[in-house]
Structure formats: structure tokens, C-alpha cells
Amino acid sequence: MTAEYQVHGAVAVITLNNPPVNGMGLETRTAAVKGIQQALADDAVKAIVITGAGKAFSGGADIKEFNTPKALAEPSLHTFIATAESSTKPVVAAIHTVCMGGGLELSLGCHYRVAMPGAQIALPEVKLGLLPGAGGTQRLPRVLGLEPALNMIVSGNPVASEKLPALFDEIFAADADLLTSAVAFAEKIADVRPLPKVRDRKVDYPNHEAFLQFSRNTVKAMAGPFPAPLECVETVAASVTMKFEDGMKFERERFLHLIQTTESKALRHAFFAERVASKVPDVPADTPVRPIKSAAIIGAGTMGGGIAMNFLNAGIPVKLLETRQEALDKGIATIRKNYENTLKKGKLTQEKLDQRMGLLSSTLAYEDIGQADIVVEAVFEEMGVKEAVFRKLDEVMKPGAILATNTSTLDVDQIAAFTQRPQDVIGTHFFSPANVMKLLEIVRGKATGKDVLATALALSKKLKKTGVVSGVCDGFIGNRMIEQYSRQAGFLLEEGALPEQVDKAAEKFGFAMGPFRMGDLAGNDIGWAIRKRRYVEKPEISYSKTADLLCEMGRYGQKTGAGWYDYKAGDRKAYPNEDVNAMIVKHSADLGITRRKISDEEIVERLVYSLVNEGALILEEGIALRASDIDMVYLTGYGFPLYRGGPMFYADTVGLPNVLLAINKYAKGHQGGAWKPAPLLSKLAADGKGFNG
Ligand code: 3HC
Ligand code: NAI
């Protein structure tokens, strides 16, 4: 049963019941339309109320149905709405908690709308690369007026019901019972005729063309590569310039166009990928979690300070531990400075700043942190230092405390083995700047307890992070892949490209930053240190020496004012440097390479496919649970363009046989040994499948 039918006196109540958010899938639509027909056939029924069970009126069309035959099967959402609108008995939408997308569009087709205060009202389709496709662009402006409707549709942001009085015939008191109140309302209006229909209203906006042109210009400038926002403007414009029926037809046409675009598919992929990432097959949703009411952080450096801010922002008290008072003072001063900058930008109040800083304390003694529910270690990236810290934590932390490490490359299992409680040890790999970046790689050691993993996943939500689970391997998901990307970037320099060309090509593809600008931001010395370790541990892996030569010139990146590029104080712009470019050209000559012109297409393919190929290995080894987790890592941690859906999704859109073809071609070129097609990639390509099915 996906919609229930009950009669309360002279009022029929149809309750959408399709958990979790009453998405209007085929079964729900069918049952609801049947309900309306049943009410119309029953002479004792004078009015109809439509409401939603559980935690939503409706979250809209069932997104899982999109691009499946069910989406278009009758009764469609249009038919459902038209059935409500053309009902000869009044239909009242009784709204609570969430009323979004097709849910709001349904309510606009009803004759009346009543609501509880605090209900989240939105047409969020634009966030999925779509526009409201069931009359929202035509009916909302007729109710709210052109400008407020356009703002809601283009932004997709929710507005509380009480802030939209024009939308509702009645907003009940916060303590009212929705169903009782809605039935009473329906009884009151049962005999009123003619039945009010939104479609009969006109959108009145003097000089609408000037406003619409202004909106087009603004939205175009902000939408970047996404076509949906501008399409939203055009369809809303039709509510003024066209007759209702023509506007509806136009809306339909544009919706059907958008739903086929890669941009929309990528956004929908990201929507589900984000939600599925928190699900781990052998850790059921009802796994008990440990309470996290206090935290300790070891190391108040770059990462420790940022990690502390996440806890403070979530209202969790933090104790910072360092080896020296000066390091503590510096760390705390940086945290305060960050908050003060946010205050200056008007994004934080003084009161909140004081509250957050009030939750922060510090110590030099391990005994002071023993009672914390979680401790996150963010000390130097050296196994010896980690060992000393974890042995100490094992001594002082209360039983049941979670011991987390922020290591970016070291073996979490080895770290866990320094303690007598490896089940309590987990990796929480934050990304820099930790107070800003959404990604949290949660590294599951071989002994990590299921409740510890479940707690870390729940914590990531509390800290407003996207938690993605990774198994233990060098670099986990994100950094293991980026290493291949960086290797290709280096080889491209040896063969004929310069940093500026590589960065520009990557940025044109949509990366927030090309590999060399990213290196300058992160610090080239970090990669250098990792490579030095690799030269000893894994001599079989080849790297371009160009980046080492750069570091030997003392050019570590933005922090030294010079890296692949030059930087000027107070200006983050990257200025190409002649000496660096000469060094690159000379290095090619030293290697006996005749530099060639490399196309942007080749640059992008080599950068992106190196990610894809390593991603396929990671998937095959079970380090990532699913391809979409890898995409989430790249979308939230590495500036991969959202409209391309992540590297694995992107590979699917290109077609895996094409990816394989290109990889095999590059395997015959310079440093071709870096390319060994992942068996999973070859298999999926041969089977005509994609990473995401
Ligand atoms: N269809 C199908 N499933 C949906 C859904 C929808 N419209 N909206 C949410 N869900 C599912 C989620 O996938 C998730 O499933 P899971 O438990 O299996 O992982 C579950 O509902 C809960 O979602 P959240 O974790 O996001 O729960 P919240 O309580 O934080 O948020 C929400 C609820 C505000 C409804 C949020 O999920 C949301 O913003 N959903 C998207 C709503 C939307 O975009 N609607 C427009 C759909 S397109 C449309 O209507 C087209 C029409 O114009 C023709
Ligand atoms: P950092 O050098 O900025 O800070 C480390 C801090 O730890 C210093 O303040 C130091 O005084 C303190 N420290 C060292 N030994 C200690 C000990 N025994 N007890 C207490 N404090 C001690 O280093 P950063 O960049 O913050 O890195 C910390 C960890 O986070 C490393 O494991 C690193 O690999 C990881 N990481 C770093 C990222 C980055 O971009 N910087 C990104 C993700 C993870």
C-alpha cells in the first residue's frame, strides 16, 4: 500500500505512504488517483484531503524512477495532479515537515493548501539539474508572484511554510493536530463553488521583460556549466508570456530535455552517492553507536586546529594536546583568527564565536584527556611519532574511547597494533583545510569494531562532512589515486607541456585547480617527502624528477612565495616563472626527449584516466565499497567537477571501451609502464558495463 484511503465523516483522506519521504512513484500515484476516484464515486464524501504519512508530505517525484519506464507510466504525476485539479469535490493538500518538488506541485494543483508551521517548502529540482516539471514553473508564480517564485525555483532552497502566507489558505498552530484541523477545514469549504484553481489566475508583473532579462543575465553568470538554472528562468517567463496550457507544454519539453543531460545525471548520481556512502553492507543501520560528547586532539598544527574547529562548530568540547606550550598557543591563536575572519565576513556572530572558543581547552598532559569520548591524533606523519602517541593513548584513555588517526599515508592496522584495543582504532582522514573541506575518509582497519565504524559515520554527519569508508592501503582512496594523476602531470612536463598549459587544460575540464597550482597550495615538499620514501621502498615506481628539481630550488609553493609559479603577497594568482620553465625544458633535454606539442585533450585524458584506472584497482581490491564512493571522494575532496559526476561516473559517460582504448594507446608512449589497465576496467568494458552498473 503506497497511499491509504480513509473516510472521516464527509471527508475522504488520502495519505501518501511511500517511506522514507513519500516520493511519488508509480504505485503511490496509482493508489492516490484511485483514492480520488473512490471519493468522487461516494456520495457521502463532500471533500478530499491529501496528506503524507511519516516524516514528509512528499519529497516529490521518486528520483529513483527517473530514466526508467515507470517515470512515464500512467498515471503520471501530471495525470495525478490533473485528477486532483479537475475533481468536482474540493481537494485540500494538508502539508507538514517536507513538501518539495512534485509534492509542492501536487499541492498547487489542489484547490486549497493548509500547513503546519515549520514545513520546508521547496522546488529543489534545479539542484538535480532539472526544473519543476509538473506545473511548478507555471503555478507557483501565479500564487506567489513572479519574483518570489523565480527566486525559489532558481535557488531550489527551502522556505518555511509560515514565511509563505500567500501559498496557504491556513497555517495551523504549532500544537494543532494536522489531520483533525485539515478535516475541519475541508468540512468548512466543502460547499464553496466555484472551486478555486491556480491555473485560472494571472501573473501580474509590470515591466516583466526588464525583470526577466535582468534575471537571465544574473543567472547565466552564476550557473557556470549547468543548463538548468537558465531553463528555470525561461520556463517561469512562460508563466507570464504564454497561456497556461502552452506554458505547461513548454515546461514539459524543457524538463524532458534536461532530464537527458549529463549534468542532471551527474547531479542525481551525486545525490544518491552521498546518501549511499554512509551505508556499509555488514554494518546494519541499527548498529549501536558510542556517544560522542567530548573530544581530544593530539597536535595543534595545520590539521589538528582545523579538526578541532569541526568539533567546536558541532558544539562538542575539545581539549588540544601538544608537546610544547608555544605550539598550543600558536594552534589556539590560529583557530581564533579563523573564527574572527568568519566574523568579519558576517558569517558568524560574536556570541557564537565566544561560545565556540569557550568549548576549547588545552593541555600538555595526557592524563587530562583520558575521559574524552574520542581522541583524534594529528601529529607528524612518522610512524615512530604515531607509535609513541598511540602507546600513550592506550594507557590513559578510558575504556570505550575511540582512538582515531588522521594519518594520510601510514598503515592504520600497524597503528592499531600499538594498542591493546585495536577494535577502538580507526582512521579519520580529514582534508585540508579541515574546517572547510567536506570530505572525511573513514579508514576501517582490519580490527576496527563495527560500532566504532558506525559511530565515525554518524559523527561525520554531525560534523557536516561527507563520510566515505576506505580500507587500509597506502594513500587510501583519494591520495592513492592522486598519486597516479601527479605522476602523469610530471611526465607531461617531461614530454613537452608546461605547468600553465596542464593547469589550464585541467581547469577547462572543470577541476577547481590544475595539478601544479594544487601542488603549490598543498606544498610541494609534502610530495617530495613521499617520493623520497618511495624511492627506497618501491624503487620500481617511476616518477618525473622535475618536481624534485623544483624543490631543490627551494620552491615549495605558496608558503615560500614560489613554487611552479611565482606568487605576490596578498594575491593568490599564479604567475609563470621563466627559470622554472627553463628547468623543465632542460630536464627534457637531459633525458634525451624531443619536446612535442601536447594537446589539451591528451592532457585531460591522461590526468583523468589515471584516476579512473587506479579507482578501478581500488574497487577491485575492495578498498572502496562502490564506484560512487570513489566519486564522492573526488567531488568533495579534490575539486572534481560536480557536473561530471566524479571520475568513475565520468568514465561511464565516456564509455569504458573508449577509456581502455586511450589507456592502451598511452601505454605505448613515454613512461608507458605507468599504464596497466586494471582488470576490472577491462572486464567491464568487455561486458559492455559501467562502474555504476
Ligand atoms: N525520491 C526518492 N527518494 C528520495 C527522494 C525522492 N524525491 N528524496 C529523498 N529520498 C530518499 C533518499 O535517497 C534517502 O534514501 P535512503 O534512506 O535510502 O538513503 C531518504 O529519502 C532520506 O533522504 P535524506 O537522507 O536526504 O533525508 P533528510 O531528512 O535529510 O532530507 C529531503 C529529506 C529534504 C526530502 C531530502 O532528501 C531532499 O532534498 N530530497 C530531494 C528532494 C527533491 O529533489 N525533490 C524533487 C524531486 S524531482 C521532482 O519532483 C520532479 C518533478 O518536478 C517532476
Ligand atoms: P603539522 O606539522 O602542521 O602539525 C603537527 C603538530 O603535531 C605540530 O604542532 C607538532 O608540534 C605536533 N606534535 C608532533 N609530535 C607530537 C606529539 N608526540 N604529541 C603531541 N603533538 C605533537 O602537521 P599537519 O599537516 O597538521 O599533519 C598532521 C597529520 O595530518 C599528519 O599525519 C598528516 O599526514 C595528516 N594530514 C595532513 C594533511 C595536510 O594537508 N597537511 C591532510 C590530511 C592529513
Compute the distance from residue 299 Cα to the ligand 2 centre, in Å: 6
Determine contact, residues 107/57, Cβ cutoff 8 Å: yes
Question: Whose alpha carbon is nearest atom 36 of ligand 2?
Answer: 408
Task: Give the residue-averaged pLDDT of 583-589.
Answer: 98
Position 606: which residue type? R
- 463 lies in the same domain as 482: no
Q: Is the distance from the beta carbon of residue 52 to the nearest atom of ligand 1 less than 6 Å?
A: no
Q: How far is 287 from 451, CA to CA, in rounded Å?
A: 6
Residue 692 belongs to a domain:
no
**Which grid cell sits at 75?**
498515471
Compute the distance from residue 691 Cα to the ligand 1 centre, in Å: 23
Q: How many CB atoms lie within 10 A of CB 148?
A: 17
Give the total number of structural domains in the chain. 3
Of the listed ligands, the closest to the CA of 443 is: 2
- Whether the pLDDT of residue 604 is over 70: the answer is yes
Choose among 527, 556, 557: nearest CA to 544.
527
Compute the distance from residue 482 Cα to the ligand 1 centre, in Å: 32
Task: Give the residue-averaged pLDDT of 682-692.
Answer: 97
Q: Is the distance from the beta carbon of residue 64 to the nearest atom of ligand 1 less than 6 Å?
A: yes
- 560 lies in the same domain as 577: yes
Q: Which domain holds residue 236?
A: 3-259
ipTM of the complex: 0.95
Residue 91 belongs to a domain:
yes
- 326 lies in the same domain as 353: yes
- 451 lies in the same domain as 509: no
Q: How far is 485 from 468, CA to CA, in rounded Å?
A: 21
Active site residues: 105, 125
User: Which residues, in sequence order, are CB contacts of 322 under 8 Å at separation 6+?
Assistant: 298, 299, 300, 328, 331, 362, 364
Residue 447 belongs to a domain:
yes
Question: Whose alpha carbon is nearest atom 15 of ligand 2?
Answer: 379
Compute the distance from residue 21 Cα to the ligand 1 centre, in Å: 6
Residue 111 belongs to a domain:
yes
β-strands 318-321, 159-160: how paired?
unpaired
Task: Give the residue-averaged pLDDT of 426-439.
Answer: 96
Residue 351 pLDDT grade (very low, low, confident, very high; cuts 50, 70, 90): very high
Query: What does each C-alpha distance from 90 to 25, 41, 514, 528 come to in angstroms?
Result: 24, 14, 59, 72
Q: Supply the CATH number for residue 639's domain.
A: 1.10.1040.50
pLDDT at 72: 85
Measured from the Cα of 120, ligand 1's closest atom is: 34
Please report which residue ranges of 591-646 form alpha helices under DSSP H: 600-620, 627-637
- 543 lies in the same domain as 620: yes
Question: Whose alpha carbon is nearest atom 41 of ligand 1?
Answer: 59
- 456 lies in the same domain as 416: yes
Please report which residue ranges of 314-358 form alpha helices under DSSP H: 325-344, 350-358
Compute the distance from residue 376 Cα to the ligand 2 centre, in Å: 11
Choose among 631, 633, 656, 659: nearest CA to 645.
631
Q: How far is 42 from 311, CA to CA, in rounded Å?
A: 58
Q: Supply the CATH number for residue 356's domain.
A: 3.40.50.720
Residue 244 belongs to a domain:
yes
Q: Is the distance from the beta carbon of residue 77 to the nearest atom of ligand 1 less than 6 Å?
A: yes
Q: What is the pLDDT of residues 20-36, one digit of tens each?
A: 999 999 999 999 999 99
Q: How far is 168 from 189, CA to CA, in rounded Å?
A: 14
Residue 147 belongs to a domain:
yes
Residue 619 belongs to a domain:
yes
pLDDT at 569: 85
Q: Is the distance from the beta carbon of residue 267 to the nearest atom of ligand 1 less than 6 Å?
A: no
- Domain end: 259, 287, 309, which one? 259
- Domain end: 470, 499, 515, which one? 470
Measured from the Cα of 21, ligand 1's closest atom is: 21
Task: Give the residue-averaged pLDDT of 572-594.
Answer: 96
Question: Whose alpha carbon is nearest atom 26 of ligand 1?
Answer: 275
Of the listed ligands, the closest to the CA of 99 is: 1
Residue 283 belongs to a domain:
no
Q: Is the distance from the beta carbon of residue 259 to the nearest atom of ligand 1 less than 6 Å?
A: no
Compute the distance from residue 300 Cα to the ligand 2 centre, in Å: 7
- Whether the pLDDT of residue 646 is over 90: the answer is yes
Measured from the Cα of 128, ligand 1's closest atom is: 44
**pTM for the predicted model, two decimal places:** 0.94
- 322 lies in the same domain as 208: no
- 32 lies in the same domain as 166: yes
Compute the distance from residue 293 Cα to the ligand 2 centre, in Å: 24
Q: Supply the CATH number for residue 9's domain.
A: 3.90.226.10
The ligand 2 site (C-beta within 6 Å) comprises: 298-304, 321-323, 327, 378-381, 385, 388-389, 406-408, 429-432, 522
Question: Whose alpha carbon is nearest atom 20 of ligand 2?
Answer: 322
Residue 572 pLDDT grade (very low, low, confident, very high; cuts 50, 70, 90): confident
- 580 lies in the same domain as 596: yes
- 246 lies in the same domain as 304: no
- 248 lies in the same domain as 347: no
Q: Is the distance from the beta carbon of residue 285 to the nearest atom of ligand 1 less than 6 Å?
A: no
Of the listed ligands, the closest to the CA of 427 is: 2
Question: Whose alpha carbon is nearest atom 38 of ligand 1?
Answer: 59
pLDDT at 296: 98
Q: How far is 686 from 693, CA to CA, in rounded Å?
A: 13
Q: What is the pLDDT of residues 61-79, one digit of tens each?
A: 998 898 789 988 999 999 9
- Domain end: 233, 259, 285, which one? 259
pLDDT at 208: 94
Task: Give the residue-averaged pLDDT of 83-101.
Answer: 98
Task: Give the residue-averaged pLDDT of 537-547.
Answer: 94
C-alpha R_g of the chain: 29
- 515 lies in the same domain as 448: no
Ligand 1 pocket mutation, candidates 63, 81, 161, criterion most atoms within 8 A of CB: 63
Residue 1 pLDDT grade (very low, low, confident, very high; cuts 50, 70, 90): low
Q: How far is 150 from 41, CA to CA, in rounded Å?
A: 39
Question: Whose alpha carbon is nearest atom 25 of ligand 2?
Answer: 302
Residue 485 pLDDT grade (very low, low, confident, very high; cuts 50, 70, 90): very high
Q: What is the pLDDT of residues 303-328, one digit of tens each?
A: 999 999 999 999 999 999 999 999 99
Question: Whose alpha carbon is nearest atom 53 of ligand 1?
Answer: 132
Query: What does each C-alpha distance from 337 to 26, 332, 357, 359, 667 come to in angstroms?
Result: 53, 9, 11, 16, 49
Compute the distance from residue 101 Cα to the ligand 1 centre, in Å: 10
